């Protein structure tokens, strides 16, 4: 995986994708959006990758769409935001949510606008103490996009989501933890160690079933109970046929730790 705007490293079945335009706090360009989509697509196809970490280079996570590029394109009539979102952002967010592997956001700095959407599209978020979150769209006269309107209310409830979207204010990592936007907060210096620790636990788990767990929660969020029950039955049927299920039960009966193989 060789990209202009991303760094990608694979270590012990964990792919770390680093947004890499640090001079602009890793603002999103068309190239970066295409490269991200490609990296997630390759991660999905590669059985050797069990877990993905998404982070940012240096002091920012991602401040959203590169406004210099967007403004220039919009002013020249070359960019209609709706087309741009449908072509590049929406497929990427859907790919992340549908990918049957866990994506952990290691939020190292500010996540604003579509950069916050990108963080919200991860399955789990660990934030450095100095990280922050901004629904910055309103500050530039735009409405939330790239999934924020769907993802944020589901994490914090509609009233809090609206307050953040209407104010565009900066939320600290600690407040994000209280609101339920992030799973945990670490000292800045411990962010990647702790993220790798969690990723490693997941990478050594029953990864096919972990994909089903993600899929079941995603499905349940916009379906009725009867449909969710049916989905659970469908997925449990598949999980029950994995070698890891046999291994998990055998390990329990033999009173030893399971050795899952992701099969
Ligand atoms: O289809 C479409 O494209 C529409 C989609 C829109 C989606 C969106 O994401 S809209 C929302 C866009 N994002 C924002 O409005 C946030 C803009 N940035 C900020 O408000 C601030 O930069 C931050 C609060 C995020 C961080 O502030 P601070 O003081 O820590 O850093 P800074 O000095 O403002 O930024 C450092 C550099 O990054 C600076 O460049 P310079 O002056 O040193 O050359 C700054 O211009 C650049 N930068 C930050 N954000 C962006 C950016 N450059 C381009 N685009 C950015 N979004």
Q: Contact at 8 Å (CB) between 70 and 119?
A: no
251, exposed or middle or buried, with CB in 10 Å at 0-12, 13-18, 19+? Answer: middle
Q: Which atom of ligand 1 is nearest to the CA of 79?
A: 1
* pLDDT of res. 71: 81
Report how far Cα 81 is from the mean position of its chain's Cα atoms: 22
Nearest to 35 by CA among 48, 24, 26: 26
- Whole-model pTM? 0.97
Measured from CB, residues less than 6 Å from any atom of ligand 1 are 24-25, 27, 63-68, 70, 81, 84-85, 110, 112-114, 136-137, 139-140, 142, 145
- What Rg do the C-alpha atoms of the chain give, in angstroms? 19
212 vs 4, 223, 231, 249, CA distance in Å?
33, 16, 10, 18
Q: For the chain, which ranges sit under pLDDT 70?
A: none
- The helix (H) or strand (E) run that includes residue 132 is strand 132-134
**Residue 59 Cα to ligand 1 middle (Å):** 13
**Residue 20 Cα to ligand 1 middle (Å):** 14
Q: For ligand 1, atom 11, which residue shows the shortest CA distance?
A: 113
- The helix (H) or strand (E) run that includes residue 169 is none
* pLDDT of res. 171: 98
**Residue 200 Cα to ligand 1 middle (Å):** 33
């Amino acid at each position: 995986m060789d990209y202009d705007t991303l760094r990608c490293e694979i270590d012990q079945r964990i792919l770390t994708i680093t947004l890499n335009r640090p001079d602009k706090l890793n603002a999103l360009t068309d190239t970066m959006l295409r490269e991200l989509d490609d990296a997630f697509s390759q991660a999905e196809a590669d059985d050797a990758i069990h877990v993905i970490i998404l982070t940012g280079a240096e002091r920012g996570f991602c401040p959203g769409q590169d406004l210099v590029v967007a403004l220039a394109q919009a002013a020249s009539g070359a960019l209609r935001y709706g087309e741009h979102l449908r072509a590049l952002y929406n497929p990427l967010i859907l790919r992340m949510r549908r990918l049957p592997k866990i994506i952990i956001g290691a939020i190292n700095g500010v996540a604003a606008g579509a950069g916050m959407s990108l963080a919200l599209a991860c399955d789990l978020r660990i934030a450095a103490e100095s990280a922050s979150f901004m629904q910055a769209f309103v500050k530039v006269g735009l409405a939330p996009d790239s999934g924020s309107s769907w993802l944020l209310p589901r994490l914090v409830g509609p009233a809090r989501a609206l307050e953040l979207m209407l104010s565009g204010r900066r939320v600290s990592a600690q407040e994000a933890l209280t609101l339920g936007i992030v799973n945990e907060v670490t000292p800045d210096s411990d962010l990647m160690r702790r993220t790798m620790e969690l990723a490693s636990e997941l990478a050594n788990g029953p990864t096919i079933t972990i994909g089903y767990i993600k899929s079941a929660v995603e499905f349940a969020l916009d379906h009725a109970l009867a449909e969710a029950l049916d989905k659970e039955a469908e997925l449990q049927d598949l999980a029950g046929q994995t070698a890891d299920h046999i291994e998990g039960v055998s390990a329990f009966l033999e009173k030893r730790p399971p050795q899952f193989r992701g099969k």
